[in-house]
């Protein structure tokens, strides 16, 4: 990680985080709110607001379906590229491998129970991997593709932005479910890992996974829309993510942490995702190690829903803004800046 | 302030930019009237008037910072103008919907996207966004990438990548194509092929092309008409030869007198000067040569007239403009206004 002190990049972050268009910024000012972009983003969220965009109303339904179809085709192609690219897959596989190794080395039990500690850790890893896909991988993909010009190309293509978002939804869901399945199956086969007990456990696994993704994916999209460039993006995201990983009780019982840290961590979704997955994967006896002495599933649902709502509220305007800010000159300026900071670093 | 005042010395150029032309039979594909742009109180475009017609290849020239990019991005619908009237394909670009977008093709120099896609796969995918796309395979052979169809995009050479961008730009059969520095990094053969392709699109399919470039030779070769944008104003507009004849640069006549001294004289009417020389001379005139002003002379003249500080990016732009074709004749005089 290069510690870039490029002041221009700093200005860009500030500019990007600023909700309103800075009047003195050449890049930010006077960029167009293209109706097709707005329209597309609205459709993506099922809020089919027709804001007076030209075009016959009776046709409104058909293009939407075409966007989704094109988007899913696009997502399928992107998935194929991901699977064919070993370097991309390596990160995910490494995560799973680390989880399995850690689980293999832990031999004690969850305090006060006869449940292997490894099970708790694996459930925590499962939650963390979902969390990471939404809040680390997704923003990175978005920032990288914006920098390369894919977002601009799709903006210049009819129906491009809705198709792009649909493709990313598919990509993220498949990545998340695939990683989760790989982790649980490999753990079950190799280190006697946990699997849900009975239909209730499976159901919990499904809804916690779905709600967990809803909590982190829109948030990750919002983050991806404002982060400056791929290199700095990773640094900016990883610090808080690592902080949450150690304080959310994902890897070890949260009760061993100071109360204040517990309280802070319980604001964020990772703790609740981990707790929800523990409830799905561990027997009820493991509740003894929970801070509240129970799984608190209603709270899990509530907190994750709240984050999902917040994420959507942030993601829609920020993505729309990111798309409409794209133009050729902006792209060129960023490439020049990247080349420049690269030259200085070298 | 319109362009009229600045081109008054050049009748041909004047005609080309005349405002308030009665719109009779055909609406222009691009029409701008008094297009103005300011960023934070600083004007970067001062009332641009532009008419570009169907099937025309139109080049926008000018140094960096002159407002080329801003103008083009306003026309592309990516930027909101401060004032003025703009119609592109009959619509205000700020309100262009998907159907409007589908009629416009874009080739930018900064694209590095979709690196992991295969060439044919990417083209086939983008074809699906348009109602009546070109056949991807035909398109590949049109831009000469058939052999690279299965190659990953990031393994293409710079010129191949740009040709792929061109293919992506025209896959939806656009009526209007924006080309931004399209041949930067091309070898001479690729450049030639590209020029042939663009001419074919314009001539055979009636595609209107708006080209921005620093390459004066390319502009002269391709464009039906050229506008020179300097410091946010169109300083001249016309066919390449009109511009070369028009603006400031006078023709230069060189000859050697009887006593062996080399003479050169600048004149608006070289034919008359040569006639007078012959009339007064006892016999043939040695080393007689008439140099017509080139597009580059016009360009440099325009740009240098602006050199008094207003144009921040001007210096680098001139450098790029100088890149080709100066053969070292009469440098000082050429630039003298």
Considering only CB atoms, which chain B residues are within 8 Å of A329?
Answer: 69-70, 73
pLDDT of residue B127: 93
What is the SS3 string spanning chain B?
Answer: CCHHHHHCCCHHHHHHHCCCCCCCCCCCCEEEEEEEEEECCEEEEEEEEEEECCCCEEEEECCCCCCHHHHHHHHHCCECCCEEEEEECCECHHHCCHHHHCCEEEECCCCCCCCCCEHHHHHHHHHCCCCCCCCHHHHHHHCCCHHHCCCEHHHCCHHHHHHHHHHHHHCCCCCEEEEECCCCCCCHHHHHHHHHHHHHHHHHHCCEEEEECCCHHHHHHHCCEEEEEECCEEEEEECHHHHHHHCCCCEEEEEECCCCCEEEEEECCHHHHHHHHHHHCCCCCEEEEEECCCHHHHHHHHHHHCCCCCCCCHHHHHHHHCCCCCCCCCHHHHHCC
Q: Are B256 and B211 contained in the same domain? A: no
Q: Is the model more confident about A241 or about A335?
A: A241
Considering only CB atoms, which chain A residues are within 8 Å of B64?
Answer: none
Last residue of a domain, one of B215, B243, B271: B243
Q: Which of A106-115, A263-272, A310-319 comes out lowest in average pLDDT?
A: A106-115
Q: Are B171 and B74 contained in the same domain? A: yes
pLDDT at A241 over 50: yes
The fraction of chain A above a pLDDT of 70, given in percent, is: 79
Considering only CB atoms, which chain B residues are within 8 Å of A23?
Answer: 40
Considering only CB atoms, which chain A residues are within 8 Å of B73?
Answer: 327-329
A134-139 mean pLDDT = 90
**Which ipTM value was assigned to this complex?**
0.73
A285-295 mean pLDDT = 82
Q: Which of B93, B94, B115 sits opposite A148 (nearest CB)?
A: B115
Considering only CB atoms, which chain B residues are within 8 Å of A31?
Answer: 78-80
pLDDT at A303 over 50: yes
Q: Are B253 and B239 contained in the same domain? A: no
pLDDT of residue A302: 94
Model confidence over A168-192: pLDDT tens digits?
Answer: 999 999 999 999 999 999 999 988 8
**Cβ density class A25-41: b for 16+ within 10 Å, e for less:** bebbbbbbebbbbbbbb
Q: Which of A39, A148, A159 sits opposite B113 (nearest CB)?
A: A148
pLDDT band at A17 (very low <50, low <70, confident <90, very high): very low
Q: Where are the domains of chain A?
A: 37-43+62-345
Q: Are B226 and B314 contained in the same domain? A: no
Model confidence over A18-63: pLDDT tens digits?
Answer: 333 333 333 434 444 444 443 444 434 433 333 434 444 444 456 6
Nearest chain A residue to B101 by CA distance is A158
Query: For testing the chain A interface, which of B113, B150, B181, B316 should be mutated: the one with the most A CBs within 10 Å?
Result: B113
267-296 of A, contacting B, C-beta below 8 A = none
Q: Which of B69, B91, B129 sits opposite A157 (nearest CB)?
A: B129
pLDDT of residue B151: 92
CATH number of domain containing B224: 3.40.50.300
Beta-ladder partners of B52:
B30
A86 touches chain B (CB under 8 A): no
Q: Are B204 and B127 contained in the same domain? A: yes
User: Which pTM does this prediction carry?
Assistant: 0.74
Last residue of a domain, one of B218, B243, B268: B243
pLDDT at A245 over 60: yes
pLDDT of residue B85: 92
Last residue of a domain, one of B214, B243, B272: B243
Q: Are B116 and B218 contained in the same domain? A: yes
pLDDT of residue A41: 42
Q: Are B221 and B291 contained in the same domain? A: no
A233-240 mean pLDDT = 83
- Tell me which residues of chain B have a C-beta less than 8 Å from any C-beta of chain A: 37, 39-40, 69-70, 72-73, 76-82, 91, 93-99, 101-102, 104, 106, 108-117, 121, 125-126, 128-130, 168, 172, 180
Q: Which of A55, A77, A148 sits opposite B97 (nearest CB)?
A: A55
Domain that holds residue B158: 3-243
pLDDT of residue A176: 93
Q: Are B175 and B264 contained in the same domain? A: no
> In the predicted model, what is the mean pLDDT of chain A?
78
Q: Are B80 and B198 contained in the same domain? A: yes
Q: Are B220 and B261 contained in the same domain? A: no
A30 touches chain B (CB under 8 A): yes
Considering only CB atoms, which chain B residues are within 8 Å of A89?
Answer: none
Residues recorded for chain A: 346
Listed as ranges, residues in chain B with pLDDT below 50 are 1-25, 308-337
Q: Are B152 and B295 contained in the same domain? A: no
Measured in angstroms, the CA of B165 and the nearest CA of chain A are apart by 10
Q: How many domains does chain B have?
A: 2
pLDDT of residue B184: 76
pLDDT at A165 over 50: yes
pLDDT of residue A97: 92
pLDDT of residue B324: 34
Q: Are B38 and B60 contained in the same domain? A: yes
A143-148 mean pLDDT = 88
pLDDT of residue A16: 38
């Amino acid at each position: 990680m290069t510690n870039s002190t490029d002041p221009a990049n700093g200005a860009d972050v500030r500019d990007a985080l600023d909700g309103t268009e800075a009047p003195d910024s050449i890049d930010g000012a006077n960029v167009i709110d293209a109706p097709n972009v707005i329209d597309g983003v609205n459709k993506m969220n099922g809020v089919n607001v027709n804001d007076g965009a030209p075009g016959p109303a009776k046709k409104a339904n058909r293009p939407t379906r075409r966007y989704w179809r094109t988007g899913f085709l696009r997502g399928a192609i992107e998935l194929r590229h991901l699977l064919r690219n070993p370097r991309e897959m390596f990160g995910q596989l490494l995560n799973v491998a680390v989880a399995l190794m850690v689980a293999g080395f832990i031999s004690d039990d969850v305090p006060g129970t006869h449940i292997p500690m490894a099970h708790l850790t694996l459930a925590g890893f499962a939650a963390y991997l979902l969390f990471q896909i939404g809040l680390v991988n997704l923003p990175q993909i978005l920032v990288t593709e914006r920098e390369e010009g894919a977002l601009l190309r799709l903006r210049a293509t009819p129906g491009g932005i809705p198709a792009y978002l649909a493709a990313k939804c598919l990509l993220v869901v498949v990545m998340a479910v695939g990683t989760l399945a790989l982790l649980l199956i490999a753990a079950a086969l190799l280190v006697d890992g946990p699997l849900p007990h009975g239909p209730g456990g499976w159901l919990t696994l499904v809804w916690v996974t779905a709600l967990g993704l809803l909590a982190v994916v829109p948030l990750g999209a919002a983050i991806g829309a404002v982060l400056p460039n791929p290199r700095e993006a990773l640094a900016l995201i990883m610090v808080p993510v690592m902080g949450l990983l150690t304080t959310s009780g994902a890897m070890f019982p949260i009760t061993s942490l100071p109360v204040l840290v517990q309280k802070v961590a319980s604001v964020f979704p990772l703790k609740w995702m981990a707790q929800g997955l523990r409830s799905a994967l561990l027997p009820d006896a493991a509740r003894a190690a929970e801070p509240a002495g129970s799984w608190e599933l209603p709270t899990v649902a509530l907190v994750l829903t709240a984050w999902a709502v917040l994420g959507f509220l942030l993601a829609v305007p920020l993505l729309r803004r990111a798309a409409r800010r794209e133009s050729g000159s902006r792209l060129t300026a960023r490439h020049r800046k990247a080349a420049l900071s690269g030259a200085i670093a070298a | 302030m319109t362009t009229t005042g600045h081109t008054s010395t050049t009748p041909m150029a004047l005609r080309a930019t005349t405002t308030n032309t009665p719109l009779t039979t055909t609406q222009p594909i691009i029409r701008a009237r008094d297009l103005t742009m300011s960023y934070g109180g600083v004007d970067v475009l001062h009332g641009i008037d532009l008419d570009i017609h169907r099937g025309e290849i139109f080049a926008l020239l000018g140094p960096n910072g002159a407002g080329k990019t801003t103008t083009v991005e306003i026309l592309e619908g990516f930027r909101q103008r401060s004032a003025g009237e703009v119609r592109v394909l009959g619509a205000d670009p700020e309100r262009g919907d998907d159907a409007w977008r589908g009629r416009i093709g874009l080739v930018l120099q900064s694209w590095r996207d979709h690196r992991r896609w295969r060439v044919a796969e990417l083209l086939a995918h983008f074809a699906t966004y348009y109602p009546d796309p070109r056949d991807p395979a035909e398109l590949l052979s049109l831009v000469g990438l058939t052999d690279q169809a299965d190659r990953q995009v990031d393994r293409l050479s710079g010129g191949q990548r740009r040709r792929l961008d061109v293919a992506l730009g025209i896959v939806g059969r656009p009526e209007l194509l924006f080309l931004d520095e399209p041949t930067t990094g091309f070898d001479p053969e690729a450049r030639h092929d590209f020029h042939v392709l663009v001419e074919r699109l314009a001539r055979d399919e009636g595609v209107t092309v708006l080209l921005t470039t620093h390459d004066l030779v390319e502009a002269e070769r391709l464009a039906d008409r050229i506008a020179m944008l300097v410091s946010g104003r169109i300083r001249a507009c016309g066919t390449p030869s009109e511009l070369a004849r028009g603006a400031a640069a006078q023709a230069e006549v060189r000859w050697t007198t009887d006593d062996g001294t080399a003479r050169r004289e600048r004149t608006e009417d070289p034919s008359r000067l040569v006639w007078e020389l012959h009339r007064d001379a006892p016999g043939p005139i040695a080393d007689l040569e008439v140099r017509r002003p080139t597009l580059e002379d016009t360009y440099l003249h325009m740009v240098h007239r602006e050199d008094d500080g207003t144009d921040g990016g001007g210096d680098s732009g001139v450098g790029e403009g100088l890149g080709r074709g100066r053969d070292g004749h009469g440098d000082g005089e050429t630039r003298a206004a």
